[in-house]
Structure 1
Amino acid sequence: MNEQKGCIKCGSTRANKKEVAMTGTGLSKMFDVQNNQFIVVYCEDCGYSEFYNKKSSGASNIMDLFFG
C-alpha cells in the first residue's frame, strides 16, 4: 500500500484551514441564512481545498485527514 503524505495535487506539506458558512436552498437561500458550516483545509502552495462538515468533524484532527 502506497501511503501518500501531503497535498494530493502537489505534494506540499504546507496547509492551513478556515471556517466558512454557506446558505442552503429554498427559504434559507432567499433570506441569506447561512446555516451550513464547514471547515476548509487548503494547500498554501497550489490552493487545492477540501471541505469538511463542521458538525460531523467533532474532535478529529482535520489536518490529519487532509494529509493522510
Structure 2
Amino acid sequence: MQQQQYVCAKCGCREYDSDQFQATGGEFAKLFNVQNKKFITVSCRDCGYTELYRAQTSSGMNVLDFLVG
C-alpha cells in the first residue's frame, strides 16, 4: 500500500494531525443513541483546515455501543 503525502488544500502546509469520531445517523440510531457512523479527520497544523473521510464500522461495535449506550 502506497502512502501519500498530505498537502493542505488551503495553505499548502505538509504537516497534519489525524483523529476519528463517531456520530449517529438515521432515526433508529438517534432514538437509541447508537453511534453507527465513523469518520476520520485530517487537520492542517498550520491553518486548521479539516477534511472528513467516512470510515467503515463493524456490526459488532454497533451492537456493543447499543448495549453499553
Range class of TM-score, shorter chain: 0.5 to 0.7
User: What does the per-residue CA deviation read over 1:9-68, in whole Å, with 9 as the maximum and x for residues that have no partner?
Assistant: 11111111001101102021122211101111111111111111212xxxxxxxxxxxxx
Q: Which is greater in Rg?
A: 2
The 2-side partners of 1:49 and 1:34 are apart by 21
TM-score (norm 2): 0.64
Percent identity, aligned pairs only?
41
Q: Greater RCO between the two (CA within 8 Å, min separation 6)?
A: 1
The one-letter code matched in structure 1 to 2:14 is T
Instruction: Specify the SS of the correspondent of 1:29.
Output: helix
Aligned residues: 51
4+ runs deviating over 4 angstroms: none
Q: Over the residues paired in the alignment, what is the CA RMSD in angstroms? A: 1.4
- Aligned residue number for residue 12 of structure 1: 13
